[in-house]
A and B are shown apart, each in its own frame.
Chain A
Amino acid sequence: MIKADYDKMLKKIEDGESPVEYSEHFLACMKHSFDSVSWKDFQEQIHSRPWTVVQGDCHAGNALWPSKPGMERGVTLIDFEVVGLGSGAQELGQFVISHMTPEVRRANEKRLVEEYHTELIANLQARGLDEEASKCVLECNISASSACAVPS
């Protein structure tokens, strides 16, 4: 499966046929990642976190902003071609890494996640899901992509 594809590419790199010479650290990280891909682990992961409907391709190009102040229609999410069930926190991580500079991310990620968490809790409570809301604990120690609402 994916391991076969990865090994083929690794051989190409080792044989010096790649247009790029990668750092050992980078290759070690990638090897660890690809060696870890397994259905069993994936199942454990997705059942250890809350899930919901996610837009699926969450980046700043997939939201529209009014081109002038005062327009009646506000910010709007678009492009639901890969809508699915998954981790809300993960899709916020995609948003952050796809467009933000590291400087802007570092300066704002904690506040952004806190605001997301507050809005999420308020909307869950508005739906009468107080118990679910109470399970959402804010963790934002490292980065937006590894933080957010997780069960206590």
Chain B
Amino acid sequence: MNMLPLSESGQLDAEWLADKIGQPVESAQVRNMTTMGGMAGSFNHLDIVLQEKSEDGTNKKLTLVIKTIPEANLQTSLTMNLWREANFYNLLADKLPENLVPKTWYAEGDPETGRKVILMENLEHHIPCGVFFGPGNPNNWALASKLDSMVEAAGGQTAAEVASEVFKLHARLHAQFWKSEDMLKNEWLQGAPWLVGKGEEKWNAQQVRLFRFSSWHRVNFGVTSTHLDVFVRVVLVRCRQ
């Protein structure tokens, strides 16, 4: 988290943070290091004590989420331009219907280093929609024993009902920028240069990168510990052992 003025004990500089969130800050502590956060990012909670007082005389509190790229994943971020997420929140998110994406207080991405920091809304009381789709997906393997109770607590929706709601959100996202010529100027958006006929070399390089990243390639070259799903074994392959 080199873009953040952070002490070794996880205290974030109050003055810096106050400038970003537009409120006087007493203190701010980072907690709950996790490995979640997309392809290369990580999430941490940020517990903020504001200078503003509540009616009972205590300081008001606010919890946000900090999304960053760990040092070990900076090369991945650079290769895949994952820092672009900050641009999305800075330049496009406010054009979307309210609450379609998390609210952000601050976002910064650095195309030179791959670093990124996003201060965003804390949605820890939400669950990934993937849990409604059962234990088959690898993302759910670690949650297998909890899936039924999580779904029941959320209201017992079916996978199809959840998919329906998510499809509608994507429809709103897609409609907002439908064939928008302005978007073609945003070269940081993946695919924008390709749509104007630029970037053939990078496109070819990306095909190779995706191929080498694929499970098929990794299994054949022994660079993964992936165990093939039984369904895949039956339908596509016959294992030697």
**Complex Cα distance A63/B208, Å?**
29
Give chain A residues whose Cβ lies under 8 Å from the Cβ of B189.
Answer: 53, 83-85
B136→A101 contact, CB < 8 A: yes
A5→B129 contact, CB < 8 A: no
User: What is the distance, in angstroms, from B141's C-beta to the closest C-beta of chain A?
Assistant: 12
Instruction: List residues of A (75-115) whose CB comes within 8 Å of B's CBs.
Output: 75-86, 88, 91-92, 95-96, 98-101, 104, 107-108, 111-113, 115
User: What is the distance, in angstroms, from A113's C-beta to the closest C-beta of chain B?
Assistant: 8
B190→A116 contact, CB < 8 A: no
A120→B101 contact, CB < 8 A: no
A119→B153 contact, CB < 8 A: no
Query: B200: nearest residue on chain A (CB-CB)?
Result: A39
**Complex Cα distance A26/B234, Å?**
12
Query: Could you say which of A21, A57, A76 has the most chain B C-beta atoms within 10 Å of its C-beta?
Result: A76
Give chain A residues whose Cβ lies under 8 Å from the Cβ of B62.
Answer: none
Interface size, chain B (Cβ < 8 Å): 84
User: Is B102 part of the contact surface with A, judged by Cβ < 8 Å?
Assistant: yes
Return the CB mask of B190-217 against A: 1 if under 8 Å, else 0: 1110110100100110011001100011
A81→B163 contact, CB < 8 A: no
**Complex Cα distance A111/B161, Å?**
11
Q: Which of A20, A60, A104 contacts B129 (CB 8 A)?
A: A60
**Complex Cα distance A10/B154, Å?**
47
**Complex Cα distance A84/B126, Å?**
25
Interface size, chain A (Cβ < 8 Å): 82
**Complex Cα distance A13/B136, Å?**
28
Assuming the contacts A50-B178, A98-B137, asked whether A80 and B85 have C-beta atoms less than 8 A apart, the reply is yes
**Complex Cα distance A141/B219, Å?**
34
User: What is the distance, in angstroms, from A114's C-beta to the closest C-beta of chain B?
Assistant: 10
B167→A64 contact, CB < 8 A: no
A85→B190 contact, CB < 8 A: yes
Instruction: List residues of B (219-240) whose CB comes within 8 Å of A's CBs.
Output: 219-222, 228, 236-240
**Complex Cα distance A89/B222, Å?**
34
User: What is the distance, in angstroms, from A152's C-beta to the closest C-beta of chain B?
Assistant: 15
B195→A46 contact, CB < 8 A: yes
Q: Which of A22, A39, A77 contacts B204 (CB 8 A)?
A: A39
User: Is B171 part of the contact surface with A, judged by Cβ < 8 Å?
Assistant: yes
Give chain A residues whose Cβ lies under 8 Å from the Cβ of B222.
Answer: 19
Assuming the contacts A76-B123, A112-B164, asked whether A1 and B92 have C-beta atoms less than 8 A apart, the reply is no
Give chain A residues whose Cβ lies under 8 Å from the Cβ of B85.
Answer: 79-81, 83
A64→B175 contact, CB < 8 A: no
B211→A6 contact, CB < 8 A: yes
User: Is A48 part of the contact surface with B, judged by Cβ < 8 Å?
Assistant: no
Which residues of B come within 8 Å of A, CB atoms?
Answer: 37-41, 80, 82, 84-85, 88-89, 92, 99-102, 123, 125-134, 136-137, 139, 150, 153-155, 157, 159-160, 162-180, 183-184, 189-192, 194-195, 197, 200, 203-204, 207-208, 211-212, 216-217, 219-222, 228, 236-240
**What 7 additional pairs, Cβ within 8 angstroms, besides A52-B173, A85-B190, A123-B175?**
A2-B207, A54-B174, A60-B137, A68-B125, A78-B101, A83-B190, A123-B172
Q: Show 24 residue pairs from A and B whose CB-CB distance is below 8 angstroms, ordered by the A residue.
A: A5-B208, A5-B217, A12-B221, A19-B219, A19-B220, A19-B239, A19-B240, A22-B236, A22-B238, A52-B180, A64-B128, A65-B127, A67-B127, A67-B154, A69-B155, A79-B85, A85-B189, A85-B191, A99-B130, A100-B133, A112-B167, A119-B167, A120-B171, A123-B172
